[in-house]
Amino acid sequence: MSIALRDYEDPPWQRRKHLHRGLMFVDECVIKVSAGDGGRGCVSFRREKYEPWGGPNGGDGGRGGDVILVGDVNTNNLVDYKYQPHWRAERGEHGQGKDCNGREGKSAELRMPLGTVVIDEATDLPVAEIVEDGQRVILCKGGNGGWGNTHFKNSTNRAPKRANDGLDGARGSYRLVLKSIADVGLVGFPNAGKSSLTNSITKARPKMAAYPFTTLHPQIGVIDFLDERKGHRHLLLADIPGLIEGANENRGLGHRFLRHIERCAVLVLIIDMAGTDARDPREDYKHLLNELKLYDPALLDKPRLVAANKMDVPESAALLAKFKKRHKVDVIEISCREGDGLEKLKKELLKRVTAFRVREKKLRKKSL
């Protein structure tokens, strides 16, 4: 009988632990970091045959390693730092005789998903923000190494017996908050069709089912475009778990995931126009705007449009007419089941995101 080597390496309980960890989504956690201390300087004298006045030759201590945050496009959440909150860089090596300086300590590099905001727990103020792949931010600097006795030699003290201790590395406790970087934010009530729309126009494959809250954490999908003049282009779409009335009071999943649409250029409010479960699309839209306002009024200033879903249902046309009379907002009719209107929606999103980015670029130039 043959037994796979894997059975020896990971017992069942360990495999279950790894599986559970891989399925978790963590967008906020606290880490405690310590940079490396500097090494001590050395007190040493040159002692060789026929060299009675060799003098001091103590080397300097090595510098402690830094704690560095590195932006990584291939990392999508903070689960690793929830299970390993303590991080420490290597301390510098002590100086040695014969003018040998200590080796510098190795830095601790923490790979962060793009969109991570780092907040100092002591002051509750943001100290860094990771927005680009490969971006490097020194969160805590390592301590400098101490001087060896060679530095203290002078004309009146030719045999100094003094050396410096290395400086302590910086330490701190920081809260990591992930705010996804996406061009389009998708907001709606449970069962409005958010996951179906994400599945239809992006390469993401969120769970779809006929019950509320199938999406339990944000999904980031890529909308691809092929432009004959500008070539391949794409937009990032953030699909967050469904909101319900009273989310500001922590009903349903609350406002917890709304931070993931704060950076979006355009918001898409998807509305169930079929009136499923006796719902009124007009009231749904009103409640969604109210929940966005209660979380952050600035969200209402973002460009937005309504995706009127389930237009393949016969009752949808009459409900859409009533909706347009009450709410003056741009509406695009779609059907995720039949695929109707999806290409029009994609083109409109590209147009609006492009206009937003151009306007934003002009404002930055004026401010400079």
What single-letter DSSP state applies at residue 285?
A: H
Q: Going from the N-terminus, what domains does the chain have, and what CATH number goes with each?
A: 27-178 (2.70.210.12), 184-367 (3.40.50.300)
Query: Which of 74-78, 229-233, 329-333, 335-339 has the weakest average pLDDT?
Result: 229-233
Query: Which of 131-145, 149-163, 216-230, 308-322 has the weakest average pLDDT?
Result: 216-230
Tell me what percent of the chain is helix, strand and coil, each rounded to the nearest 5: 30, 25, 45
CB 40 within 8 A of CB 93: no
pLDDT band for position 18 (50/70/90)? very low
Task: With a cut of 60, say whether residue 13 has pLDDT above it.
Answer: no
Cα distance between residue 40 and residue 64, in whole Å:
11
Task: With a cut of 80, say whether residue 186 has pLDDT above it.
Answer: yes
- Across the beta sheet with 136-140, the strand order is 108-112, 67-71, 136-140
Of the candidates 278, 253, 275, 267, the one whose C-alpha atom is nearest the C-alpha of residue 353 is: 267
Mean pLDDT, the chain, rounded, equals 83
Residue 104, number of CB atoms within 10 A of its CB: 21
Cα distance between residue 54 and residue 45, in whole Å:
7
Q: Count Cβ neighbours within 10 Å for each residue of 33-69 and write b for 16 or more, e otherwise.
A: bbbbbbbbbbbbeeeeeeeeeeebbbbbbbbbbbbbb
pLDDT band for position 81 (50/70/90)? very high
Average pLDDT over residues 331-351: 89
Average pLDDT over residues 32-38: 96
261 burial type by CB count under 10 A (0-12 exposed, 13-18 middle, 19+ buried): buried
Task: With a cut of 50, say whether residue 2 has pLDDT above it.
Answer: no
Q: What pLDDT does 211 receive? A: 46
Average pLDDT over residues 334-362: 87
Of the candidates 172, 165, 142, the one whose C-alpha atom is nearest the C-alpha of residue 37 is: 142
Query: Which of 177-191, 233-247, 283-297 has the weakest average pLDDT?
Result: 233-247
Q: What is the pLDDT of residues 112-161, one digit of tens each?
A: 999 899 999 999 999 999 989 999 999 999 999 999 999 999 988 888 99
Average pLDDT over residues 290-309: 90
pTM for the complete prediction?
Answer: 0.76
Q: Which helix (H) or strand (E) holds 157?
A: none
| CA dihedral for 241, 247, 248, 251, sign (positive or negative) | negative
CB 242 within 8 A of CB 218: no
Q: What pLDDT does 25 receive? A: 72
pLDDT band for position 61 (50/70/90)? very high
Cβ contacts of residue 237 below 8 Å, gap of 6+? 182, 183, 184, 185, 186, 198, 201, 202, 204, 220, 221, 222, 223
Which position has the higher pLDDT, 251 or 150? Answer: 150
Cα distance between residue 42 and residue 40, in whole Å:
6
Backbone angles phi, psi at 203, to 5 degrees: -90, 0
Copy the structure tokens of residue 192. 């409005």
Q: What pLDDT does 3 receive? A: 33
Cβ contacts of residue 322 below 8 Å, gap of 6+? 281, 282
